[in-house]
């Protein structure tokens, strides 16, 4: 997605806690086309149905399939491996962040998020895909 594109980038927010989806939607809704899923399974199904988003904001701790497993599956699939993934998690341990990045994520944000730095990181990563 380039800066001159007429349609906004599509971002999929995946989190099992509705309040975190609401927070991210409030921060990003003016600039992006947003979708959301409340589980890893639902996210993979949505991507299969609607195509790959430009970016996924992916919670780590979810019941069933956690964010790390969702990332692994996306990165193993040739049709989804190039999606930019940013983990968004309450886990702040550097080893957790390192694990997420080692799976191919482009970033790791910790909750509670800072709205402006989140916007800036997303803009920078999407601009880099152009």
Walking along the chain (130 residues) 10 residues at a time, the average pLDDT comes out as 67 97 97 97 98 97 96 97 96 91 95 95 83
Number of domains in the chain: 1
- For residue 83, give the nearest of 59, 47, 109 by alpha carbon: 47
Domain membership of residue 29 (yes or no) is: yes
Domain membership of residue 3 (yes or no) is: no
pTM attached to this predicted model:
0.92
What pLDDT does residue 130 have? 52
Domain membership of residue 2 (yes or no) is: no
Q: Any idea of the CA torsion for 50, 78, 129, 33, to the nearest 10 degrees?
A: 10
What pLDDT does residue 128 have? 66
Range of the domain at 81: 10-129
* CATH number of the structural domain spanning residue 44: 3.40.50.2300
| CA–CA distances in Å: residue 19 to residues 9, 12, 22, 48, 63 | 22, 15, 5, 25, 16
- For residue 90, give the nearest of 107, 103, 109, 71 by alpha carbon: 109
């Amino acid at each position: 997605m380039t800066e001159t594109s007429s349609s906004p980038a599509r971002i999929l927010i995946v989190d099992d806690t509705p309040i975190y989806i609401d927070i991210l939607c409030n921060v990003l809704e003016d600039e992006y086309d947003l979708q959301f899923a409340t589980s890893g399974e639902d996210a993979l199904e949505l991507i299969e149905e609607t195509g790959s988003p430009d970016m996924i904001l992916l919670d780590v701790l979810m019941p069933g399939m956690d964010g790390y497993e969702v990332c692994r599956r996306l990165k193993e699939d040739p049709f989804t491996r190039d999606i930019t993934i940013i983990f968004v998690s309450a886990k702040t341990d550097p080893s957790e962040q390192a694990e997420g990045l080692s799976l191919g994520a482009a970033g790791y944000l910790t909750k509670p998020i800072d709205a402006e730095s989140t916007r800036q990181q997303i803009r920078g990563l999407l601009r880099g895909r152009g």
